[in-house]
A and B are shown apart, each in its own frame.
Chain A
Amino acid sequence: MDRTDWHATESSPLGGLSIIRRLILPSLDSARLVINPLVSTSQIGTSTVDLRLGTEWEASKSYRFQALDPGEDPDTATELMQGGFDDFRLTAGQRQGVVLHPGELLLALTLEFLQLPKDLWGKLDGRSTWARQGLQVHATAGMVDAGFRGYLTLELQNTGRIPLVLYPGMRVAQMAFFPIKNVPYAYAKKSGAAYSGQSRVRSRFIAQPEHTYRHIYVADELERQRLRAGEPEL
């Protein structure tokens, strides 16, 4: 069948049958959607696919931070980010899970490896069962660009009042897929695409141009002040 024919049949959001068809395409087909592992039929909804908690987690050592200041010298900020987090692993069948206390933020990778073709983008959200217990799975970063490849990082937060115990394999999130046309480049090519191909949960502090501008501005201003004070040029 001509691939363009059935792309035209995909409405927005992508319906369950179209998701299934995308999932079973051969591995070298550019329109193929990869979600692996898909453990059970219950993960496939009418317009969404459920995602599970994975095995890699990260928690911030908040005691190390006064504040996270993007205007800080990029090297210092990166160093602080790298040293300011604990990453740890869980696996299947462990005695203990992770306790997510009210108000706390934990990062966890999804169990699933995702690869979105260039003509699909995704919207991550929570599942209502867990939402009713106060579990949020992303903190305003729920969009997944066309062409993304890797494990997704869930930004788990407990907004309820009761601590929640979490284990790998739990279905806590869902993703809807939407077709998109005429994408000139995939996510990996986006300037500052920090998480394409990610497989570690670790937060990255990429020195974005806006942050660098501020840093240059501050350094410049200090130099001006020094010169005004009659000190020699550095």
Chain B
Amino acid sequence: MDATTLLFSGLVDVRDRHLRMLHGLDQAKLISAPGPRRFLEFHRQSVLSLLRDYLSSLQATIEALKVVTPNGFDDPELQLDLANNAVSNFLPLAAEHLELSPHLPFGAGMREDLNFMLFRAGQLSLLSREHESLVSVVVDRKLTWSSRSQDLATRPAVAVSVPWVETLTPLRWSLAIHELGHHLLPDGSSAKQWIESLQVEHEWTPAERAAFEEILADAIAERYCGLSYPLALAREGYLFSYAQKAENGLSVKRRIELMESGTTVSHLIPPQWNLGRRSQDDGKDIAVVTAQAMRRLAVERIGPKESVARADFIQGAAALLALDPPEPVAALAPDVPADLRKLLDDLVLEEKPPTEAEATELTRMVVQAPLTDAEILGAAWHNEVDRSAADYLAALELNVDDDDALANAQAELAMQDTWLAQSLQSAAVHRWLESGRKRIEAIRGSN
């Protein structure tokens, strides 16, 4: 992964946002009444037309890029053209999203998956009636992520607004966890109350307070989602840089630099994404020292990382998602000790039954440790941003007037999204079963 591949992955991402919207509209049409279906078909044609415009507008620059730098694709000026092209073609898509939303019959499926993920991230219990009422997902007409809360007696009730098309894309659900982090600390208490007390204590200006709110929510999202969060934030920051508010006191670039895993990402961010800009008014970031002190405050409060993404598990998750596993290629199964592998081979070849002890040991080899959400999302993001520039350019050559090619591209993305959602859910059940097993063992041990 480098700045060039990250930039090209961003171009494909804008293509994919169009394709996901087309897929979502196709699905919505199937369960709509004939009237709304007409409108949905009209908007489908509009999105298709926007996609056609976007891809054709990129082609001239891509051809020029191939001539100028046939091997590296790294001409900064042409790359800037491409990045600007992506942003300017994203804006009409956002407008289309706003227009079509009233005609959508909202399916509950993916939203339930997202809701469950927010519960996991917020350490809320689905057995608790009180907790059940604390978090809700609202489908938004706008393509931006937002949230609001109401303080109840003990803790806040939070509504996270997610753009309709993003409810179909678990890849960016870490941004919903960031929104949750604006209101709810991992121990279940109110973030706002804590922030208010800090503002008084440290005499923060409104800009500094707003900066701290972002730093805290970033820390919470990173704690749960690992590297996938700064990657998602960088993408969102570049596409929405036109809409950044001046008063939050921090650029997206600075926010990413502050994160632990963001230090890796910040070195890779293409300068053409212009993430250092805070707003169109170009206000200044708060001082680095202040921001770092704020980050320390936030991390101290939320505690150590909940889930450390294990490299071999990310490889396992990639295999589960049927993605190309990251290098070096590894087995999905746990690393099997050589002596056990030999024992197994001998037993099979000689058609000998194992002893009871051997059978127990051999069976234990295939039991898997549960994957975390961070690992599964990490594998999906790896596939998203770590391909060759040539691969991304090939994806941008999609001919939208070829019905089969378009249908295949849509189906491939839909498959990735649904497998990702399903894997997150399956892993959650696996972790839950594992914790139950450990609890039972502990009870038996104490007796």
Q: Which residues of A contact B (CB under 8 A)?
A: 1, 5-6, 9, 16-18, 20-21, 23-28, 34, 36-41, 44, 52, 54-56, 78-79, 82-83, 87-89, 91-95, 109, 111-113, 115, 149, 151, 168-169, 197, 199-200
Contact = CB atoms under 8 A, between A and B. Distances in A.
B366 A44 contact: yes
Contact of A9 (B349, B365, B429, B431): B349
Of all A-B residue pairs in the complex, the 8 with the closest CB atoms, nearest first, are A92-B432, A82-B30, A89-B112, A55-B425, A37-B430, A24-B333, A199-B418, A92-B429
A199 B419 contact: yes
Contacts of B415: 197, 199
Given A54-B429, A55-B429, A20 B365 contact: yes
16 contacts: A16-B359, A18-B348, A20-B344, A20-B362, A24-B366, A26-B329, A28-B329, A34-B319, A54-B425, A87-B107, A87-B109, A91-B425, A91-B428, A93-B125, A113-B419, A197-B415
B292 to A, nearest CB: 38
Nearest to B427: A37
A200 B418 CA distance: 7
Contacts of B437: 40
Interface string B27-38: 000110000000
A21 B433 contact: no
Given A87-B109, A89-B113, 15 more contacts: A6-B349, A17-B362, A24-B333, A24-B341, A34-B332, A37-B426, A38-B368, A39-B434, A40-B437, A44-B366, A55-B426, A79-B30, A93-B125, A112-B426, A169-B432
Given A9-B349, A199-B418, A20 B363 contact: yes
Interface in B144-199: none
B367 A40 contact: yes
B431 A27 contact: no
A27 B329 contact: yes
Interface of B: 30-31, 107-109, 112-113, 116, 119, 125-127, 129, 132, 315-316, 319-320, 322, 325, 329-333, 336, 341, 344-345, 347-349, 351, 354, 359-360, 362-368, 370-371, 415, 418-419, 421-423, 425-434, 437
Contacts of B333: 23-25
A73 to B, nearest CB: 15
Contact of B432 (A1, A18, A93, A109): A93
Nearest to B318: A27
A55 B371 CA distance: 16
A115 B322 CA distance: 10
A189 to B, nearest CB: 15
A79 B423 CA distance: 28
Contact of A37 (B322, B345, B351, B370): B370
A27 B314 CA distance: 13
A113 to B, nearest CB: 6
A93 B280 CA distance: 47
A217 B35 CA distance: 31
B426 A24 contact: no
Nearest to B129: A95
Contacts of B419: 113, 199
B330 to A, nearest CB: 7
A41 B360 contact: yes
B62 to A, nearest CB: 31
Contact of B320 (A17, A26, A36): A36
A101 B330 CA distance: 45
Contacts of A93: 125-127, 432
Contact of A41 (B319, B363, B427, B433): B363
A36 B348 CA distance: 23
A12 to B, nearest CB: 14
A202 B241 CA distance: 39
B345 A1 contact: yes
Nearest to A168: B429
B331 A24 contact: yes
B140 to A, nearest CB: 20
Nearest to B360: A41
A169 B113 contact: no
A24 B348 CA distance: 14
A151 B366 CA distance: 19
Contact of A94 (B126, B331, B365): B126
Contacts of B430: 37, 39, 111
A24 B319 CA distance: 13
A56 B427 CA distance: 13
A67 B6 CA distance: 52
Contact of B116 (A89, A109, A113): A89
Nearest to A79: B30
Contact of A17 (B332, B344, B421): B344
A21 B126 contact: no
A149 B283 CA distance: 52
Contacts of A89: 108-109, 112-113, 116, 425
A88 B365 contact: no
A199 B418 CA distance: 6
B366 A38 contact: yes
Nearest to A39: B433
